[in-house]
Amino acid sequence: MVDPHVPVAGNAVATNVELFERACEVLPGGVNSPVRAFGSVGGTPYFVARAEGAHVWDVEGNRYIDYVQSYGPGILGHAPPAVVEAVSAAAADGTSYGAPTEREVLLAGEMCARVPGLEMLRLVSSGTEAAMSAVRLARGATGRNKIIKFAGCYHGHSDSLLAAGGSGVANQGLSGCDGVTPGAVADTVVAPYNVLPDIDDSTAAVLVEPVAANMGLVAPAPGFLEGLRAACDHTGALLVYDEVITGFRLAGGGATEFYGVRPDLWCFGKVIGGGLPVGAFGGSRELMGHLAPLGGVYQAGTLSGNPLATAAGLATLEALDTASYERLEATAMRLAAGLEEALADAGVEAVVPRVGSLLGLFFGGRTPRNFDEAAASVASGLYAPFFGAMLRRGVALAPGPYEAIFVSVAHSAADIDATIAAAGEAAAEVAAELS
């Protein structure tokens, strides 16, 4: 047994295998989040030693073109100089105070200025906190209990929202979660994505990813978001957008700007922290007025509005201008077309859906519209060998078939060319195994 507390004898640098053995002694499954596990793709996780731009290097010195990008925050790429400089300067002034800071106000103001209809927000430390708190606020503001969510959408690991979740929940093959009591989900109704559910006057909130990015990538069908908005208006339920992934990625104003449909409450994360732990939820002044200390809905967090995270978030948003979004979309468009062509040329049937700069990858000839159809693609079993073949060629995708592909402004034309070439070789390898 390897002692996880000491360096591996005789090695200046531990290998990925050695580090994973040590990690398994002190971390459940060797990881701090199930989405990082390689259980659904096989093999040993690579341990990142450093990252820059579009690339990460593991502890063995292998370089990968990275399309994980920390599952979304890396919209500028890894370690962008402006963000590193902002965090370094903030750290020199102290890392946490338990008191208000100017950057909290500036970051909230910048977000409200960019998102149509967003008037006030509360900063938290994760997307899970944001979604959990938004649900509590919705229940407190409406006096109702029932929550509607959609199968395959992931809203963090709070008890009431884990039912039929995507992302790591789906990657682990779980339909729910041990430890979640029946009472915790008694007021949670799960509906199929892209189908208007039965929303009535007992519904407090409808929680939705405006673009489902935790079951691969599934776009909203025409009229879906508009239908949810109209039904919520009719019944008095609140429409809650989980924009932890789409916020400030699809457009400067997120999905609200991209689709022109406004929710009542928003949840944010990832991009707004520039890679540091952060989340936020917000809405109108009236709704946010129900939140303590103004109202009776309690929510708190010792590290909320952390000075390092707000510094990184401000620097990230300030760097995202119109040209950034044009570059992101052009890069994603070229990558999507190249991947589809490379796979088709190798005789592997697959689709690469795209919404803005977000991409998905599904094996089979049909673009999924919901979680059941996404799961049917995953059941082909082709993602795992393709993932492994890409990793061996220096391209890092997420180690799970239900995750999105993230490009950044740092991905160059050469990176995209290399990725497409690797995909052609990897697809040929997969096709040879099938024959």
Which residues are designated catalytic?
154, 242, 270
CA 428 – CA 435 distance, rounded (Å): 11
* Rg over CA atoms, the chain: 21
At which residue do the structure tokens 């200046």 appear?
12
User: What phi and psi values does residue 351 have, to the nearest 5 degrees?
Assistant: -125, 150
Give the distance, in angstroms, between the CA of residue 411 and the centroid of all CA atoms in the same chain: 19
The residue to which tokens 């004898």 are assigned: 9
Residue 119, CB-side half-sphere exposure with 13 Å CA sphere: 11
> Is there a contact between 8 and 16 (Cβ–Cβ < 8 Å)?
no
Please check whether residue 299 is in contact with residue 122, taking contact to mean a CB–CB distance below 8 angstroms. Answer: yes
Nearest CA among 308, 287, 311, 312 for reference residue 133: 287
Nearest alpha-carbon partner for 23 in 9, 49, 40, 3: 3
Q: Which residues are 241's β-sheet partners?
A: 208, 266
8 A C-beta contact, residue 170 and residue 35: no
Torsion of CA 121, 122, 126, 129, to 10 degrees: -110
**CA–CA gap between residue 93 and residue 308 (Å, rounded):** 10
Closest CA to 135 of 173, 163, 113: 163
Query: At 51, is the secondary structure helix, strand, or coil?
Result: strand
Secondary structure (3-state) at 266: strand
Token pair recorded at residue 316:
């990230």
Question: Across the strands, what pairs with 122?
Answer: 281
